[in-house]
Amino acid sequence: MNTKNYYSSDFRLGIVGGGQLGKMLLQETRRLDIGTSVLDPSEVAPCRLGSNEFTVGSLTDFDTVYQFGQNCDVLTIEIENVSVEALQKLEEEGKKVFPQPHIIRLIQSKIRQKNFYKENLIPTADFISFENKAELMTAINKQQVPFPFVWKQSTGGFDGRGVAMIRKKADLETLPDVPCLAESMVPFEKELAVVVARSANGECRSFPTVEMDFHPEANLVEYVFSPGNVEEAISDKAQELARMVAEKLGIVGILAVEMFLTKDGMILINEVAPRVHNSGHLSIEGNVSSQFEQHLRAILDLPLGSTETIQPAVMVNLVGDEDYTGPVYYEGIEEIMALSGVYVHLYGKAETRPFRKMGHVTIIDPDLEAARAKARIVKEKIKVISQ
């Protein structure tokens, strides 16, 4: 088989993880009729539809992932929490695995990730790492870690979990006994993100710098604005930093780089994800190529697409209302569909739970301010509840 004959052929792209990120990736593989095989532990995962093959199985079990990968030509992930060992073995045996397993391993651990920034002189908030809670407590008692600080568990944190603001000793009580970081609290002005794609041949393209607004309580992205409302010099610096991280990592595929813009104009890397990312969803409608198409292009060694802005965009996450659990009902959805340039994406989850990511809405408008105004209406009108 000609390895570049991906289209309407026997070629199989394996996707480890079958959630919403995979689902949006499948929209692109369907458009190009690229065959896919998806692994997910849930038989009702969003990717159960639209994939050529769908396998139910654990993402963290070595044998399951290894078996799964053997029937694929190229492998990718849509979540970091996977058996890197299995991917590594597949890679050693000649499979193309992108992002490369050693990069997934590095990023899986916040301690390794922060050490990587330090070693590569990539600006990031100061930190100290601890192997367990006892080590952390000892350091605090010796006053080596001043309050306030940000506690982050090294592995397994996701969607706002595994992070805590520690202002006083009492806040430490509920923390689990796991490897962790104590990070200086950064007095930031804004949170920015840049989604970068890098191909095996070294071609590198980044999407415009976006600005993220977080829900104060759930620590989930609430709004994303593209382009971000920052000076050009700041945006350029963010772009440069993001590409630098992608290149130092040598990643193949999408890398999402989250940054803090400090009150004194510095940019610090917060964290990165070696995959398509919430901060890039608005590229589906807002940019010439979407991050999902771009990821496919990067991992399949196709020419990267243009990341140019078509229209300014705002993204609103649709998360489950905190008071409802059960079969989902999207109250007000028709009212927002009546607005021009409003695109509703539902992830295909039948059950809602407090703060569960159920979908997102992208609003495009030639005028970013008009898009922002519509986003506020969207936020106000739609409720993810259960009847």
DSSP class per residue in 295-322: HHHHHTTPPPPP--BSS-EEEEEEE--T
Q: For residues 90 and 93, give the distance between their C-alpha atoms in angstroms, rounded to a whole number.
A: 5
CB of 119 to a copy of itself, least distance (A): 36
Check: CB of residue 149 under 8 Å from CB of residue 183.
yes
Task: Identify the H or E element spanning 128.
Answer: strand 127-130
User: 150 vs 370, which CB is nearer to a copy of itself?
Assistant: 370
Q: For residues 139 and 145, give the distance between their C-alpha atoms in angstroms, rounded to a whole number.
A: 6
User: 33 vs 380, which CB is nearer to a copy of itself?
Assistant: 33
Burial tier of 171 (Cβ tally within 10 Å: 0-12, 13-18, 19+): middle
Site of interaction with a copy of itself (CB under 8 A):
2, 4-5, 7-9, 23, 26-27, 30-33, 49-52, 288, 297, 302-303, 305-306, 308, 310-311, 327-330, 333-334, 337-338, 340-341, 343-350, 364, 387
User: 23 vs 277, which CB is nearer to a copy of itself?
Assistant: 23
CB of 332 to a copy of itself, least distance (A): 12
Q: For residues 64 and 169, give the distance between their C-alpha atoms in angstroms, rounded to a whole number.
A: 43
Amino acid at 353: R
User: 46 vs 69, which CB is nearer to a copy of itself?
Assistant: 46
Name the binding residues: 110, 152, 183-186, 191, 270-271
Q: For residues 243 and 237, give the distance between their C-alpha atoms in angstroms, rounded to a whole number.
A: 10
Beta strand ranges found along 12-131 (DSSP E): 13-16, 36-40, 53-56, 74-77, 96-97, 127-130
CB of 275 to a copy of itself, least distance (A): 20
Q: For residues 98 and 252, give the distance between their C-alpha atoms in angstroms, rounded to a whole number.
A: 6
- Alpha-carbon distances, residue 372 vs 226, 229, 363 (angstroms): 10, 12, 8
CB of 33 to a copy of itself, least distance (A): 4
Amino acid at 72: C
CB of 24 to a copy of itself, least distance (A): 9
User: 90 vs 315, which CB is nearer to a copy of itself?
Assistant: 315
CA–chain centroid gap for 30, Å, is 22
User: 303 vs 354, which CB is nearer to a copy of itself?
Assistant: 303
Name the binding residues for ATP: 110, 152, 183-186, 191, 270-271
Phi and psi of 84, rounded to 5°?
A: -65, -30
Amino acid at 219: N
CB of 86 to a copy of itself, least distance (A): 26
CB of 6 to a copy of itself, least distance (A): 9
User: 237 vs 297, which CB is nearer to a copy of itself?
Assistant: 297
